[in-house]
Amino acid sequence: MKVQGQKAYDDINVTPMLDLAYVLLVIFIIMTTASVQGIKVNLPKASAAPSLAKPQTKAITIRDDGQVFLDTYPVTMQELEDRLRQLKAVNPSFPVVIKGDAKVHYEKVVDVLDLMGRLDITQLGLVTQRLVK
C-alpha cells in the first residue's frame, strides 16, 4: 500500500550496519593484541629491580612446571646450549636475562646458571617484580 505523495523505498540504508562492523573490528583488534603478551610466569618480589631491557637481550624463561623457553620458544637444555653457543659466536657480549617462576625448583634455575658459566656469558640478569609496600 502506497500513501499518496510518498514514493516506495528502493534502497536500504547500510550506515548502521557499517557502524556495527567498525565497532566489531575495533573490539577484535583490541582483544587480539591484548592476548599476545608472551609467556606468563609468577615472578618473585624484589625491593628494587633495575631495567635490563635491551634490544639484543635474550630472555630465558623457566615456567613453574620446569619447561625452559628461549625468548618465547620452548627448548631443551641441549638446544638452549647450542643456540646460546651460536649467539655467542656472533656477539660475544650479548646480555641474557633469566625469568624463573617463583614456584620452580631451584635446581632448574641453577642448571641454567651453570650453563651460563660454562658458556662464559657474563652479562646476566635475574628478573624479579618490584615489592609493593
Write down the pLDDT at residue 49.
55
d(CA 133, CA 125): 24
pLDDT for 109: 86
What is the CA angle 107-113-91, rounded to 5?
155
Topology, domain 45-130 = Nucleotidyltransferase; domain 5 (3.30.420)
- SS3 category, 70: strand
The one-letter amino acid code at 117 reads G
Q: Dump pLDDT digits (tens) for 53-105.
A: 445 788 899 988 889 999 889 999 999 999 999 988 888 888 999 988 888 88
Q: Cα(108)–Cα(96) distance, rounded to whole angstroms?
A: 16
- Range of lowest pLDDT (5-14, 21-30, 44-53): 44-53
CA triple 99-103-109, angle to 5 deg: 45
Query: What is the identity of the amino acid at 50?
Result: P
**Given pLDDT bands bounded at 50, 70 and 90, which one contains residue 106?**
confident
Q: What's the pLDDT score for residue 24? A: 93
Per-domain residue ranges for the chain? 45-130
CB 61 within 8 A of CB 28: no
Residue 111 or residue 55, greater confidence: 111
Phi and psi, residue 44, nearest 5°: -70, 160
- Quote the pTM value: 0.57
